[in-house]
Each structure stands twice: as C-alpha cells, then as structure tokens.
Structure 1
Amino acid sequence: MSLYRSVSKFCLTIRQPNNYCRNLSNKNTFKEVAIPVPWGEIRGKWWGPTESRPILILHGWQDNCGSFDRLMPLLNNEVGYLAIDLPGHGYSSRLPAGIPYTITEYLSTIKYVEKYLGWPRVALMGHSLGSAVSFTYTMIYPDKVDFLVCIDGAKPLVPKVTKNRLTRALDAFLKNSDLVIENREPPSYTIEEMKRIIHQPNDGAVDIDVAHYLMERNIAPSKTQPGKYYFTRDPRLKAEAFTYITQEEILYTVRNMKCPIFVAKAKGSHYFEQKENFYEVLDVLKKNIADFEFNYIEGTHNVHLNNPEAELSSLIDTFISKHNLIDRSVSTGIKEDIVVEEIDLLRNKI
C-alpha cells in the first residue's frame, strides 16, 4: 500500500472553492497558509473564521501544528485558530546553516506573524515548548496579549546544573549541523517504526494510534532506501539550547503579567525541571492575576492529541468563551496571499 493510501483513511482531503481544506469534523475546516519571514516562510493551519484575528497556537518540541488536529474541531467554531509550525518544524523553513535554535527565534516568529498580518495584539495557546514560548512572550509583552492558554507546560524551563552540560550541547549542535550543511539524508524507517519512535519519548506520551497526526508534516520518502521514510524536522533541534532565563528573573518578570491565564497540567507527565520552579511561578500568578485558572487533568504529556475530548477541550472552550472579549474584526483577518491553494500530500510526506 502506498504512503498516501495508508494514511488517507485518517486524513481526507476535499476540494473547496479556491482552496484545499482538510475536513476533520462537521464543525470545522482549516486553510493551509504560508507567512513570509526573513529566513523563508512559516507554515500553518488556519481553522475556523478567517475574517478576523485568530488565536495563535504553538506546538511542542520537534512536533508540528498537526498535534492540534484533534483538539481544534472540539473548540468554539465561531473563533479562528492559527496553529503554526515553528521554524525547523513541520513545513516551515529551517534557519540558515550554522545557526542554532533558541527561544529568541521562536519569540521573533510570533512578532513576524503579528506584523505581517497586521495584528495589534495576540491571544496565545501552546503545548509544552509552545507553552513556554507563549508564556515568555506574555512575560515580556504583558500589554500585548489578550489571554494565554498553556497545555502541560508554562514557564520557560531552567535546566539542572550538570557536569559538561554546555559541552554536550555544543557537540550535539555541531554534529547535527553537519547533516544540514552536507545535505545528508537522516536515518530512515518504516511507517510502523516511525510511529513507535514518536510514541516512545516521555513514557509513551503520544498514543500509537494518533502518531500519524504528527507524521503528516514530519516525514518524507527516503531517496536511498525504497519503502522507508525519514524525519524532516531540522536535526539541529535535538541540541540543547545554551541560553536560558534564570528562575530569579522569571519570578521577577511574571509580576508584570496581567492577562487571563489558563494552565492545564497532565497528571501522567513529567515536569522537565525541578517542579518547585513550576509551583513557585504558579504562586506568583495566583497572587497577581485575578483571572488565573489551573487544572490537573488526566492523561499524558500529549493529552491534547491523545484524548482532548475527555476534559481538556471543554475546559479550554469555557476559558476562551469567558475571556474572548477583544474585538478581532478590524482588518485582522486572513490575507489571500498567504493561502496555499494546493497541498501536495505526497511531497509533504503523507
């Protein structure tokens, strides 16, 4: 069975006037978009209404915007949602060779998207890394964010001090940079092997039967091993970042945050740093923000993909309905020049 046919039962593509949309439910569809940035383009899926400013949504580390495919159709379909692939992920352009990925590039991406689409403000939703980026953006631009939704992640992480951490980080960056500079094909796998690779991290955080949602924008056919595929995300993403914001600076800066904030913590997930850091920040938010909401939810780190219908979607929907008060209708809708008219599914992996 071909790669396209093996996954087509999960992801049906339908023709609609002037654009291709993927129809994942009877409630909602999306448009594929490409937004120009200085190093290339940021790709994404614009769900729901396109005549007004959507909520901007950021995925987790080495994932892509497909991780929200099961959550989006469950949310209020009178609100727009723009889920993007961060640089080096999914269909978005990689950074130039020799350049590492840091939170600075991700924060800049939000700014470039805002500027190109003419948004005066932004509402943010994120998962894991996307939560940390969204949270950090809200910390440094507290007057520019309508509200913030964080799924199993929030504050920027502060790594533990370990022996040779910086040495390992630099060596990993240089090793994976060679793949990019030399344009070498990464290791290849069968489809089933790739599903298991996606499933394994974080104690099986992504269920096997939903792994294809992440694979669609993340794999390509091998040119050297027929019948196998490789991951197209930038291998430089594997390297640990050098730069971090200290816990002290985070605690100082979060006192400026003022918008409504929703945080969901999956009970079956790790903290990825000393958990005391996480709860220290939550305590500050509880004291300083009247509309702060924190929920423990059943599930793993990727609960938004595995089983969003259980409780997460209703909690987020209620929060958005309560706080979606800013007028989004003034010259902030989709631009026709960013709509990707056709999605080449075979070229784009699945």
Structure 2
Amino acid sequence: MSEAPSYDAIILGAGAAGLMCAAVAGQGGRRVLLVDHTDQAGKKILISGGGRCNFTNIHTAPDRYLSANPHFAKSALGRYRPQDFLDLVEAYGIAWHEKTLGQLFCDGSAKQIVAMLLEECAKGGVELALGRPVGAVEHGDGLYRVAVGDQVVRAAALVIATGGPSIPKMGATGFAYDLARRFGLKVVEPRPALVPLTLGGNEILFRELSGVSAEVVAKASKTGFREAALFTHRGLSGPAILQISSYWRHGEPVAIDFLPDRAAGWLREAKRAKPRGTVRRVLGEALPERLAETLAERLGLEGELAAQTDRKLEEAERTLAGWRFHPNGTEGFAKAEVTIGGISTADLSSQTMEARRVPGLYAIGEAVDVTGWLGGYNFQWAWASGWAAGQAL
C-alpha cells in the first residue's frame, strides 16, 4: 500500500452526520477526508421520507430521544437547532413544507439535501473517498492510520460516523461498534428501533386485517403515542407502532386504545340510544369495517345492544381502551429505520463528541447511543452531533 498525504481529520461514513461534520470542519480550515465503503454519499437520506427527506422536526427537544444517559444530547441539540438547519435549506432555495407533528419535508426530492451537503463539503475543500473499503485502523504517535482502499491515510483525528446496522441493504453494518470496542469504548446493546412488530399464536388472526389502519394510542413501558397503527401480514406497523417499538421490550405487551376519543360509558349510551344496534355496527361507525368486525367477534358480544348487560359493555369498553397484544418480536434490523443503543455516551464528551480517554477519536450520529422519535428527530441529532464534532476538530 502507498503512503498517502496526511489530513487533519478522517471521517468514516458519508451519511447525514458524517457529511455535516466534514462540511463544518472543512469550512473551519481543516483538511478533511470523508470515506465511505459505498459508492454514494447520503444513501439513507435519499430513501428517507418516501424520497422527500423528513430532514428535521421543529419540536426537537432532548426528551424525545432515548439513551442510557437522557441528558447527553442536550448540549449538541441546544447549540445546533432545527432552525439552523432550516436556514441552510432555505439558503439553497430548497422548497419545504411542514406535515403533521412538526415534521419538515422537501417539496421536491431528498436528492436536494444530499446535493446541498456535498456542496457544503466542497466549499470546505473536503476530499471524498467513496466506494473505498476501510481496512485496518491503527493508532500511535498521536496519529490514526487507516487503510482506505489501496492506501494508508493518516490524521490526528478520526470520526466514527458509520451509523448502526439498521437497513443492511443500504450497506449498514456494525462496523462502528467493532471499531469503538477496539479503542476501549463501551457499546450499549444495539437493537432495532422504529421497527414493525410481529404477532404469533392466537393473535395471528389479526394478520387477516393486513392493510387496515386506524388512529389509535399505542402504549408500552408507560409511554404512549397517538398516531396511525397498521395491520400487516406479519403483525403491526404504522407510525404509532414504530414509535412504541423503541420503548417495547421482548416479552412485554403493547396496549392499543382503539377509540381514544370516546369517554367512559359510551357503549352504555349507545345501548340507550340504539337498543336494536350491535356492538359491531357501533364500532363500525368509528373504525374500519373489517377491524370493527374482528374486534366485535373477539369481544364475544353477539346480538343486539339491548341484550347486553351494562357490566359487559363496561368490560368491552375497558378492553377496547387497552387491547393487549403480545408481539413475539420485531421485523429486525432489515426493516428498522434506526438503531437503539450504540457507542456509550459515558465514554464521550457531550460538548465535542470526543472519546474521553482516547484523544482525537470522535463518534457521532446513529453510531452513538442516542435515538430519536420518528419524524425527523434522528436527522436533527445527526446534524447537531456532526456540527458539534466538526466545530471541535
């Protein structure tokens, strides 16, 4: 291998966090090499938001992130805010719109965000090495030596921005964790997040509702989200389920409130108003017909409402307000939008993202044990953590 020129910083991973970090460090006067084993920068950005990139969320706050240290993200998120990224988007003339719950999307294409970040890198003179596999990584005499393709490159700083193992078809791997462990950093057990849940056993019958969705409140571990839930041929999906999957642990139930707007006693009132009606018909007024039919069957309340005792109707209300599903797993990293867990925040500076005991080693983005809610929060963490490291390099 030939010995290549040295750099101030080598950034491994040309995703959202790596691109931001490279642009900031480059424009700050650093000589930066941005490396990725795939041949295209920002691959996850390109597929996000249905190709329109949900690039941030205006409601970003530290309490919308999961981490073993819930305070870790405060510093970076507080110094690089959604408005800062939005200012950049607008400076490039990229049209955008706000969807529900503070989610911001491009009007056009996610390609515009990648092009913007690459242009920002170009302004900083960042050198790109795409489609170049990373081999051995060594550290000594204050320098990191990294085998990139058929060269060995050197720098005083090395940034781990290779993400987590979610969506392996995009080239995602656990490389970040292996590298972190090599340098003595702890790794919080990674698991799939923002991922569909699978059902088995006697709950398989709900798979017959594949394609049916309804607005619900989904709860797990005392946390709840009100959004759409979708039945699939494997189990449960949709925004409410993806959100709750980050809090769900194997063996725990997920509770679904199918009628979150109904006050206690609504079935009894329906009985008084329409004694000749049925539970199925009443449910069908608020829920998709196939779902109403299945729930009514499982409740076992056949016949007219007038034939049901108030006590049975109250029991049915309680069941519908907290219907317990027992997922047997998730659809795994292949379908997970992000990864929970990762490089332990206990080993990193929340100000700079630098390893506390390994000078010049940084970790940013999804590689770190900070995971946001669905809806642009993970991109904002990528921008904020990348900016913090880029400033510190």
Q: TM-score range by the shorter chain?
A: under 0.3
User: Greater RCO between the two (CA within 8 Å, min separation 6)?
Assistant: 2
**Largest Rg, 1 or 2:** 2
TM-score by length of 2: 0.22
